[in-house]
Structure 1
Amino acid sequence: MSRMLNLGWLALGVVMVAGAQEKPADFATRVPLAVSGNGPWYRLDLPLSAQLQARQTDLSDLRVFNAAGEPQAYALARESAQIRDDGKLHEVKWFPLYNAADASERAPNVRVQSTTNGTLVEVQPSSQLEAGEEVLRGWLLDASAIKAPLQQLILDWTSERDGFQRFSIEASDDLQHWQPWGEGQVARLTFSDERIEQHEVSLPGQSARYLRLLWESPNSAPVLTSAQLKSSDPRNLPLPLVWSPTLAGSSTRAGEYTWQLPMGLNVERVQIELKQPNSLAPVTLAGRRDSSLPWQTLSSGLLYRLTQNSQDVVQNEVPLSGQTVQQLKMTVDERGGGLGEQAPDLKYAVRATQVIFLARGEGPYSLALGNSGVKTANLPLTTLIPDFKPQMLATLGKATVQSEAVATQTSTATTAAATETNWKKIGLWAVLLLSVVFLGAMAFSLLRKPPANT
């Protein structure tokens, strides 16, 4: 009897181990990976199209397999907007940049005086300008005391220059050679007895000792009253944002639009398409995980597409907190004229995700996603890579998704694989139940057998 029970428990253990072994066919989507560089660790920038194939919001159903179908040890590098360091804010000195009203060159020539460590003391025009001949073209910011990448510029200016302020941003370390950093746009508007202000401009996350802000046309630069720069710890730079394809929405009442995301996502920014020129729309964005929950207000902002100096001035993005949502609702203040009956298209941005895996066995390797029943298997980076430091990520080998059409992987073949997996599970459970029935019958038979006469 004891031997029978031992054999039964052994059979049960074999069945449970077989049931727990994950195979590539257990996942709805499988995508081949190409690796390059030095292993054995490889870093994959997970495309959003691949992430959307997951069945679990936290990517617990993500796996990496080798050619033999063996799972690989891996870790996820992800960020939460709620716990991410927002950086350090620095007050900086600013110096006016004057030029002659009829000057042909866009950037003024200046004379500068600085200390031995590069801190600016004085900035003057290269030639003396008479009163009435000079115009304020822009501002020079001294960031020489900031030894970290610059993430954001925050400006304030006198009220004589309300409206939109557009300018170019250039960076330099020696005041001689300037690198373009794109364009900035801030605004101060009055709308329906309310004050609407936009003071922040995103920067590319690079280091520079000096910034030059040049307004697009003469006599348009305002007088600054405050200039701040926000920097980030270079050891903990945020992962970039990745944008979704265009998402169509719906509208059931005037001034209210909704969008359904493919899954719950930690959305940090949305972009609304403004088709009509001269659109102005104060908006409030709300979100929720599913239709059974109440809407929660996430953010508000001012969207506009206006024509100034024969150019479109556009502000069509609203920042969010990174809260997990699957449905979004935008309510528009109709006093601005609204955005029409048809819901505008929307794009959403989430923080990029990186997959780091330890290559074991022979390639090619593949990425698998799409199984709502499996449990998380990712390791902490400090466990996957001994003595891990953030700067080590840049030295790892690189893995890339070979197929761009990730979404097409969930096809008839996938359905067949899933069906095959279900039949395997059914068969395993059947064997398990038969084993239990067999053991029960054996025990019942032994209990009914009369004892032998001595």
Structure 2
Amino acid sequence: MKRLASLAGGAVLVLCVTAVAAPAVPEFAAQASVQLHSDDGLHRLVLPLAVLQRSQRQDLADVRVLSANGAPVPMAWAEPPPTQTSTRLVAVPRFAWPAVAATAGRHAPVKVRVDAQGAVVQVETASSVAPAPPTVAAQWLLDLNRVRRELGAGERLLALRVDWQTPAEGSTVHAVLEASDDLQQWRPAGDALLLDAPGVGGAAGERLSVRRILMPSDTSVPKYLRLRLDPAVPLQRVDAELQGRSDSAALDSAQVRFEPVPAEGGAVREWVLDLQGSVALRRLQLELPQRNTVASFQLDRRAETRDSWQPVASFTSYWLLRDGRELRAPGVDLSVPPSRYWRLRLSARSPDVGAQALPSTVHWQAPQLVFAARGEPPFSLQVGKAHAGPQDVSLAQLIPGYRTGEEFTLPAATLGEVQAVTPPSLSLTERLSRSTPAERRRWALWAVLAVAVGLLAWLARRLMREMNAPPPP
């Protein structure tokens, strides 16, 4: 019983010392200085990856901007940057397709001569039947090799613009497209009803005009198109309409490595990436370890290790040498919620690509916040508190007469190096005054436990005395 009493007393002493001598926990884990470059009252601040990695909230609710005296300033989160679209026209070389192809089908005696780059040089018939005059041909071969070469990053083939000589009374033309990459196998690529006619009830000289053939958005640009017009009209020009999309704010990027996860037997068909913070990826550029490799992958994500993996995208990556040039797969565009953990898996039929790590480049849209420079400088940013609640307001509340995208016209502040916050040395009274209700409840539970252990020790000591007392006479 003496041993039991000693243990109980020791437990009480340990609990008391822990409660008094436990180091103070800082309110936020990291901080950085905020430098203003304008006297305006509202400023815009871009958050780098280091801030996302320090945040303990997926919604970044633990981010604060403070004035010199430590008071939080009014702030709001910027909306996603507006997407800007632009279009441009690229002239498409056209060649009259001999009329015999309309009846002879795919095996028509037509010869197409191309140069070393695949560009069409001449189209002629090998039969004794003379082709129709080029200006009124019912079918045309369109060479898209130039379009493919000039297609920029983020651009796609939106439509074909067809111009033909139209009579005063107008005309209606049914256009049908077929696509091919080898001039042998042709596949449907779309159709449209083209129109050019005088307007009804409009101003003098007004005409109704539909001259665009929309292209499928989910297919790549073929090398060749075959255009069939019904009825045949004098074709004057064909242009490829290219559409580009860009964000008003550039994407941030970082070089990362997907680390291999060996399976049973040592084979590697899975790789994982820990970004150390929740990041909403917008693009992934994967680098394969060996040339002349083609592999199909599945990309998954999850916010926490306890969560299940969620599928994101399936894609094929390649690194090939062809015609003396290296061909690499383009980056994969993504639109997913912020996540910390990412996984790459080889598809079931894809061959192994090796057991080494997979270098990659990830791109994301850096979050931006708008804050009012209330109080005295210097200002600072603090981040990293798991139980912090959001304190932001809406942009309409912060910016008078707010219009969409207006926050991106505000002067930009710059953020200094993100550094860990050293816990201050505080007395027990100071810690109690600065504690949150949740912390005070936790300490109260520890106090109740300490009292219970002390009571058990007192009862054990009393019982021990009663047992060691001499029996009554």
TM superposition score normalised by structure 1: 0.56
Q: CA deviation at 1:340?
A: 0.7
Equivalent position SS for 2:387: coil
385-394 vs 375-384, which deviates more? 385-394
Q: 1:329 to 1:228 in 2, by over 3 A?
A: farther
Partner of 1:296: 310
Which secondary structure state, in structure 1, belongs to the residue aligned with residue 317 of structure 2?
strand
Instruction: Quote how far apart the aligned CAs of 1:89 are.
Output: 11
Aligned to 1:381: 395
**How far has the Cα of 1:380 moved from its partner?**
0.6
Cα RMSD for the two superposed structures: 4.4
The 1:373/1:423 distance shift into structure 2, 3 A limit, reads farther
Aligned to 1:51: 52
Distance 1:28 1:269, change over 3 A: same
Structure 1: how far apart are the matches of 2:321 and 2:427? Answer: 59
Shift in Å, 1:86: 8.2
Q: Distance in 1 between matches of 2:436 and 2:281?
A: 44
Which consecutive unaligned segments of at least 5 residues does structure 1 have?
1-23, 107-134, 141-149, 163-196, 201-219, 437-454
- Letter of the 1:426 partner, please give it: L
Q: Which amino acid in the other structure matches residue 292 of structure 2?
A: N
CA drift at 1:364: 1.6
Corresponding residue of 1:188? none
- Over the matched positions of the two proteins, sequence identity in percent amounts to 23
Maintained 8 Å contact 1:251/1:258: yes
Which secondary structure state, in structure 1, belongs to the residue aligned with residue 92 of structure 2? strand
The C-alpha deviation readout for 1:353-389, integer Å capped at 9, x for no partner, is: 1111100122121111111121101111110111012
Residue matched to 1:331: 345
Unaligned runs of 5+ in 2: 1-24, 96-113, 120-142, 160-177, 184-217, 228-238, 445-473
Q: Counterpart in 1 of 2:156?
A: 153
Structure 1 residues 401 and 251, CA, compared in 2 at 3 Å: closer, same or farther? same
Number of residue pairs the alignment of both structures matches = 305
Matches of 1:421 and 1:266, distance apart in 2: 41
Residue range with higher mean Cα deviation, 222-231 or 353-362 = 222-231
In the superposition, the TM-score normalised over structure 2's length comes to 0.54
Aligned-pair distance for 1:97? 4.3
SS of the residue 2:396 aligns to: helix
Cα 1:269–1:384, aligned 2, differ >3 Å: closer, same or farther?
same
Q: Is the 8 A contact 2:257 2:357 kept in 1?
A: no
Distance (whole Å) between structure 2 residues aligned to residue 151 and residue 89 of structure 1: 11
The residue identity in structure 1 corresponding to 2:286 is I
* Residues 286-340 of structure 1 deviation map (CA, whole Å, 9 limit, x = unaligned): 2222333332221101101111233321115323331333222212136553321
Q: Where does 1:26-425 land on structure 2 (aligned, <5 Å)?
A: 26-79=27-80, 95-97=91-93, 138-139=146-147, 152-154=155-157, 158-161=179-182, 199=220, 222-223=224-225, 229-230=242-243, 239-253=249-263, 254-315=268-329, 317-333=331-347, 335-403=349-417, 406=418, 409-410=419-420, 414-417=421-424, 420=426, 424-425=430-431
Provide the C-alpha distance between the structure 2 equivalents of 1:372 and 1:45, rounded to a whole number of angstroms. Answer: 22
**Alpha-carbon distance in structure 2 between the residues aligned to 1:337 and 1:151:** 30
The answer to whether the 8 Å contact 2:260/2:355 transfers is no
* Structure whose CA Rg is larger: 2
Q: 370-379 or 420-429, which moves further after superposition?
A: 420-429
The 1:425–1:231 alpha-carbon spacing in structure 2 relative to 1, beyond 3 Å, is farther
| Contact 1:272 1:347 (C-alpha < 8 Å) held by counterparts | yes
Q: Give the secondary-structure state (helix, strand or coil) at the position aligned to 1:56.
A: coil
Change (3 A) 1:381 1:304: same
Give the match for residue 192 of structure 1.
none
3-state SS of the aligned residue for 2:50?
Answer: helix
Deviates more, 1:300-309 or 1:266-275: 266-275
Structure 1 equivalent of residue 432 of structure 2: 426
Q: Relative to structure 1, is the Cα distance of residues 136 and 346 closer, same or farther in structure 2, using a 3 angstrom cutoff? A: closer
